[in-house]
Amino acid sequence: QVQLVESGGQLVQPGGSLKLSCAASGRTFSPYVMGWFRQAPGKERDFVAAISASGGQYYSDSVQGRFTLSRDNAKNTAYLQMNSLKPEDTAVYLCAVRLGSEIHSDETQYNYWGQGTQVTVSS
């Protein structure tokens, strides 16, 4: 059974940092794209960033320069380092895996999803 489990979300002050993790189990995801999306209350799910098997990365404009992706294929885990956090970054962050090699920002292109981890940016 395939599982994606996110962790690392918590309450943080504006300007602070967090590192989210997405641990995958049930199959190896090293050949595939791992992505992050977020959903704020009452809003649609938005693309945040994604990383390909070769390490290529793509970020949404809203997080470019503040968030950084990485992955450890040996651990089947992806990470999202979030710096200079803003209140508008508050959302449930979900990781997803796309069974393909090309990065997509369209959530319908992703095959597996985690349950999400809450990030709250507030003073």
**12-56 per-position pLDDT tens digit:** 999 999 999 999 999 888 899 999 999 999 999 999 999 999 889
Mean pLDDT over 53-79 rounds to: 94
pLDDT of 59 above 90: yes
Token pair for 49: 């960033």
Q: How far apart are CA 115 and CA 98, in angstroms?
A: 16
Helix (H, G, I), strand (E, B) or coil at 88: helix
Residue 83 has pLDDT above 90, yes or no: yes
Q: For residue 78, is pLDDT > 90?
A: yes
Q: Residue range 105-114: average pLDDT? A: 97
pLDDT in the model for residue 119: 98
Q: How big is the CA angle at 55 (ends 86 and 71), to the nearest 5 degrees? A: 65
Q: How many helices (H) and strands (E) does the chain have?
A: 0, 11
Q: Mean per-residue pLDDT for 102-123?
A: 97
Partnered with residue 33 across adjacent β-strands are: 98
**Residue 57 contacts residue 104 (beta carbons within 8 Å):** no
